[in-house]
Chains A and B, each alone.
Chain A
């Protein structure tokens, strides 16, 4: 466009920013990406994987900066190791689970009187889900009666169930009438486009051959067109806007010191759920005192996580877990039920890899040769079931700027405040009851400390950060429009 070096400036190079950039440059647009993180040579992935198998944090050399944030509310949220500041973003260490939202998720208010309806429907988004799955190379199997409809098959066939699933999980679930299905994942079950098939390095959080998708794959393709420029280590700290609907420039910190400014006709903000909110808040001015896109006062509100709890039991025969690095089976049977007004959506997955060898060693209270003997005796005889549950969007669950805490550059750090209520806790409890039934049907012996979880509302946030920039058709109650 006239007067600008770039047609579009994208802030953030994770999966969202990378795919938007890729689509634009394919159409001949000139795109600039600013990312706070470093760019690294993808040929180093093997070296990073070797760090992982030595028990070291594989990504420490790529993202050495400590997380600075505060957490309040009913539950503490840990961000350390949960997101990555690097070109390509958190897809470098993600698990590759590539789920679509359920059609009911878009109509929670209409169907169940919960939350809010989206201004778009699953039917409208379905073609885009299909295109995104094609880009990522998702492996999966259609025909899950508890998932939403699909216009076509998955790009890659599903990974077969693990030995543990076939040996104990499937018979137990068949007995209980619970249907299980392969997990859709952005991991190649066969060579796909220019990426190889998974060959079971077993270290998925740093896949050395990129059989597991990461956003740098699309960034490299974009750069190869000559239309995409990436500026790593460019931490955007302020957006300027001349009108409420149009950002005109971005100011960023340069790696050698000082600041730079980019002007562009269009900006795309894709800097992670928390950082996007924070940047809009940091961009407050006399004209926009609550931050950009916040005339409604909604910015940062309705922030959400997914919550998980699990149960493990010992089975008679060894299940030979791990060896592939990811779980292969799930059940969505209890996701959208007639009881959803009281019991939220839940997804159940199965893992013979939990507790892992290191967890068993750590929790055994043993050491020395006695520990080695113990591990040889018990390892691989554990079956775990995990339930993930939804969190309702709540006004009080929000991301704000911490009034005191500052990051390494002197800017206000994010404060994450999350409130869980009876809805989520009830769902977690119901989920654990289902896990107990499944493990008992699998004839797993559940030790006392596992059963103790039923007296405790143990739960873990699993770093699926969502919300905070609500989409709506009413500007008085939303941050972005459809």
Chain B
């Protein structure tokens, strides 16, 4: 029976595979026709979200020191000025006071950075006590795989519980500081725009190339 049954099972399997394959192809075609993307839905579901019901407020002075130090690491001085403490304080205070959800994210970022700092320099267990170089090491430890790899890695990291805190710190604090700073005149100065934004100028200058473009390094 076993000998006789094998070809039958194989045929049945092939028939089943054919039916399932056809059904799968039809389903995919249907999804494409309807422009439904199950993976897009999963991505949206996994994306970190702010807690809109969280209380608003401002960071304690000690916590703000850590965020100011983070700003210095994220946007250091080079040939153009980096993020100044006064800007970071004003920006972050307004963000956490006015926009529900940001205060706990900034507090969590302080905890994450301080914990990482203690590992890099046990004698200086707070992030704001580190040198600029040590601060960079902490950033590298936490987020170092982002720069090149990393669209793929970011996707994987999002679904790992251990990566969630880092992911939230990156999404709601680091990206927030970067996008805030690079909206300011100091940020635009990095690419040679010394007359934008917020300064009146030649209203037709935008029709011509920029006179003095900063050369790439």
Q: Which residues of A contact B (CB under 8 A)?
A: 49-50, 52-57, 60, 64, 66, 160-163, 166, 197-203, 318, 320, 322-325, 356-362, 364-373, 375-377, 379-380, 422, 425, 429, 449, 455-457
Contact = CB atoms under 8 A, between A and B. Distances in A.
B131 to A, nearest CB: 14
A200 B200 contact: yes
A373 B175 CA distance: 17
A50 B66 CA distance: 26
A260 B94 CA distance: 34
B216 A376 contact: yes
Nearest to A422: B34
B11 interface: no
A372 B80 contact: yes
Interface stretch (B2-10, B18-26, B120-128, B176-184): B176-184
A375 B196 contact: no
15 contacts: A52-B197, A53-B185, A55-B180, A200-B200, A202-B196, A202-B197, A358-B180, A361-B179, A365-B146, A367-B174, A368-B76, A376-B216, A377-B216, A380-B213, A457-B40
B16 interface: no
Interface string B141-154: 00100111011001
Contacts of A422: 33-35
A160 B208 CA distance: 11
B62 interface: no
Given A200-B206, A376-B191, A425-B35, A362 B181 contact: no
A429 B32 CA distance: 11
Nearest to B99: A57
Contacts of A366: 146-147
Contacts of B200: 199-201
Interface of B: 33-35, 37, 40, 73-76, 78, 80, 87, 90-91, 94, 98, 100, 136, 139, 143, 146-148, 150-151, 154, 174-175, 178-185, 187-188, 190-193, 195-210, 213-217
A55 B100 CA distance: 17
Contact of A56 (B80, B91, B154, B192): B91
Contacts of A197: 203
Contact of A53 (B78, B197, B209): B197
B179 A359 contact: yes
A199 B216 contact: no
A200 B179 contact: no
A125 B104 CA distance: 53
A247 to B, nearest CB: 35
B199 A367 contact: no
B208 A163 contact: yes
Given A55-B180, A60-B94, A200 B203 contact: yes
Given A55-B184, A322-B188, A376-B192, 18 more contacts: A53-B183, A53-B184, A54-B87, A161-B207, A201-B199, A323-B205, A323-B206, A357-B183, A357-B188, A358-B187, A360-B182, A367-B139, A368-B139, A369-B76, A369-B78, A373-B217, A376-B191, A377-B217
Contacts of B87: 54
A329 B215 CA distance: 29
A166 B78 contact: no
A202 B198 CA distance: 6
Contacts of A49: 198
A163 B207 contact: yes
A365 B150 contact: yes
A90 B55 CA distance: 28
A362 B35 contact: no
A244 B16 CA distance: 65
A456 B94 contact: no
B172 to A, nearest CB: 11
Given A55-B180, A377-B216, A162 B206 contact: yes
Given A362-B175, A368-B136, A203 B98 contact: no
A463 B151 CA distance: 30
Nearest to A323: B206
B112 to A, nearest CB: 15
B188 A199 contact: no
B190 A60 contact: no
A449 B91 CA distance: 30
A367 B146 CA distance: 10
